[in-house]
Chains A and B, each alone.
Chain A
Amino acid sequence: MKKRTIGFLVAALLALGLLVSTPGMAAETWRIGALFPFTGSLALLGNESFNGAVIAQDMVNEKGGIQGKKVEWEKADGVDPKKAMTECERLIALEKIKLVFGTYSSSLSYAASEVTERNKVIYWEQGAIADNITARGFKYLFRTIPRAGDFGNLAVNFANEVVAPKLKMDAKKMKVGIMFEDSLYGTTVGNSAAKKAKELGMDVVATESYSHKTVDLSSVVMIFKAKNPDVVIATSYMEDAILFWRQAKEMDLNVKVFIGTGAGHGMPEWARIFGNEANYIFNIDPPIGINPKVFKGNTLAVLNDFRERFNKKFGHYPATHATAGFMAAHLLFEVVLPKAGSLDPEAVRKAALEVDIPEGGTVFGFGVKFAPPDNPAAGQNLRGIPVLMQWQEQKLWVVYPASFAVREPLLPLPTWEERAKGVTKFIK
């Protein structure tokens, strides 16, 4: 009997607490929903992404907030797509949130943005890259980061604009081989590269997919040996990236240019495992470590301020994920919300669509222009691009596009025989 009384009392107090705390606050602060996988298997990078946004919040609140009102997060833990949806519903129905900021993982973002769109609430995506998120014609969804498909496109553009002239080849006669692991990630990037290459009239000699859990990639090596591509574009996780490169050496596969598109070929482990054999491979990732000359206005100062603050608060310098979180939040706090004047979704939408930032205007170096609702990629930042880097001296250096580059790309890739002898014959 006593237990029940206490239980009732606790419940009553909790209910009272909820009633008192929530509604009154809304008027004095900008309350923004933060939907991330804060716990569970995606937690590491989920938290890292959010931490980037927290620095943007610190910076704006230190200045006294936006139009005199501080920014405040209402955190929601979306560990899986189902939880992301229910948490999103909770934010909207109970917390009266008008803008949800998230999510890092594509499957979570895809599910949660269904809820916001239905409720005409803004969804501000900072880090999920799957193409399909902005392919649904949503009106209240905005994404700042480039899409997976943009990775494939950039690889082909590089082959077309840089590789072909350097190798004195007609781009239309260039033979392109494409390989990708067959999950959603690899398939999206691989297919976009194949499509772009065909659009430019290149000769796509092989498009091979495989399971990244395979223990043998000799068949892909054999196919490439038979079709002899000049350029290989590969989308691999770590284990298949290692396996392929080892088997390429075993079977003496030589191509002129090898472009990885994120994941496996961009990890520090790539150099740790292969040492000098890691060199001269290209990799595509969001723009980090770009040429500071690309930044305009005070952007470089903002980036440095962010990096130092992040290091001070979290004990390490920010990498891609944290920078993506910061970039999206900073854009929201400094440009979009001041213009909108309130969190009213229609006002925020209008302000977002009016954003027109040229190259050099964000900490990623690229500009911002959101695709309008009639565009097939409605809500996508059309100026968002990744950059191409190259492993030189076992480090990654940005080499393309030229305005972002810190080094010259070195081609062609030395053959295995040349590597063994230590000779390289790069074209000036």
Chain B
Amino acid sequence: MDITVLQLIINGLLLGGMYALISIGLTLIFGVLEIINFAHGEFLMLAMYAAFWLFQLYGIDPYLSMVIILPLFFLIGVLVQRVTIQPIINAPPLNQIFMTVGLSMVLQNVALFVWTADYRTVKTTYSGLTLKTAGLLISFPRLVAFLLAMGLIAALLIFLKKTYTGKAIRALAQERKAAMLMGINVYRTYQIAFGIGSACVGAAGAMLIPVYFVFPSVGSLFVLIAFVVVILGGYNSLTGSLVGGLIIGVVEAFSGFFISPHLKEAIYFVIFILILLFKPTGLFGRA
């Protein structure tokens, strides 16, 4: 195969891994709580700031900082769910949308106020590091993000399959009332699900900061793609968001190169519309 095509596949997969990573948390919250979390991008932004400041102030490597960021974002998720989502869990979808959109605006503007609109980056030893093999270039931090995304998804799948809490989360995602009748503590499980979703986006933030940069509205750049990925994958399937992320990544790399960088977003949004029209449940979703 042509080396350019191989390189495009690599670029696309690495990009897709990043998209998958960001979409996992959204899928979990979407699938279980049936709430569209418009503040997801702002959680990502906060996680990137967390990783940035941990590096800047204490010299903690972004990958290592996950030890702090994962539990921290789990707790933040639980708290946010308890305070803002829980009271409106049975409210009409419109109210829930207003709540999460409002939350996203508040977080964005607080970040703007506290940290200003400056673009911030971390400079690690591996920031621009590239592995060269057989004429192919693989960005090291992107590869790490890709592999960690795989690991995270595998761990989550095992957790959901094997543990009691995992099973409870799946039961809730399938049928809320029946789960309640089976004696599952619904509110506690919701909090845990939201917490795990936030922890995932926390991990994504820590892995993104070595290749990307953070500013208060950075979340809005990623969240739109995350929604496309979630719909493509089937809104409650983790495997789906992985495959969906990779597909979007590869489509973007190829359409950007062969058609035009100008049209790459348009092309994956066309895919988005086609999926909604012909297979609204997504690739891995159930009807």
Residues of A within 8 A of B (CB): 182, 208-211, 213-220, 222-223, 226, 238-239, 242-243, 246, 249-252, 269, 273, 275
Contacts and interface: CB of A to CB of B under 8 A. Distances in A.
B15 A222 contact: no
A250 B222 contact: no
A338 to B, nearest CB: 43
Contacts of A211: 262, 265
Interface stretch (B55-63, B99-107, B210-218): B210-218
B108 interface: no
A213 B221 contact: yes
B42 interface: no
23 contacts: A182-B262, A209-B261, A211-B262, A211-B265, A214-B221, A214-B261, A215-B212, A215-B225, A218-B15, A218-B253, A219-B256, A219-B261, A220-B261, A222-B7, A222-B11, A222-B257, A246-B128, A250-B142, A251-B130, A252-B130, A252-B137, A273-B213, A275-B123
Given A208-B260, A250-B128, A219 B253 contact: yes
Given A208-B261, A242-B119, A251 B213 contact: no
A242 B257 CA distance: 20
Contacts of B213: 239, 242-243, 273
Interface in B250-287: 252-253, 255-257, 260-262, 264-265
Nearest to B18: A215
B175 interface: no
Nearest to A210: B261
B139 interface: yes
B121 interface: yes
B8 interface: yes
Given A219-B253, A243-B212, A250-B142, 13 more contacts: A216-B252, A220-B261, A222-B8, A222-B256, A222-B257, A239-B221, A246-B128, A246-B211, A249-B128, A249-B130, A250-B137, A269-B119, A273-B119
B174 interface: no
Contacts of B256: 216, 218-220, 222
A249 B137 CA distance: 11
Nearest to B10: A218
Q: Considering residues B212, B253, B262, B264, which has the most beta carbons from chain A within 10 angstroms of its beta carbon?
A: B262
Contacts, number: 82
Nearest to B265: A211
Interface residues of B, number: 31
Residues of B contacting A: mostly: helix
Nearest to A221: B11
B109 interface: no
A180 to B, nearest CB: 10
Contacts of B128: 246, 249-250
A422 to B, nearest CB: 15
Contacts of B221: 213-215, 239
Nearest to A182: B262
Given A251-B137, A269-B118, A275-B123, A219 B264 contact: yes
Contacts of B95: none
A120 B128 CA distance: 58
B84 interface: no
B4 interface: yes
B261 A250 contact: no
Given A238-B119, A242-B213, A223 B222 contact: no
A302 to B, nearest CB: 34
Contacts of A239: 119, 213, 215, 221
B276 to A, nearest CB: 22
Contacts of A208: 260-262
A317 to B, nearest CB: 21
Given A215-B225, A250-B128, A252-B137, A223 B257 contact: yes
B45 to A, nearest CB: 13
Contacts of A182: 262
Nearest to A239: B119
B261 A226 contact: no
A131 to B, nearest CB: 20
A252 B137 CA distance: 8
Contacts of A222: 4, 7-8, 11, 253, 256-257
A226 B4 contact: yes
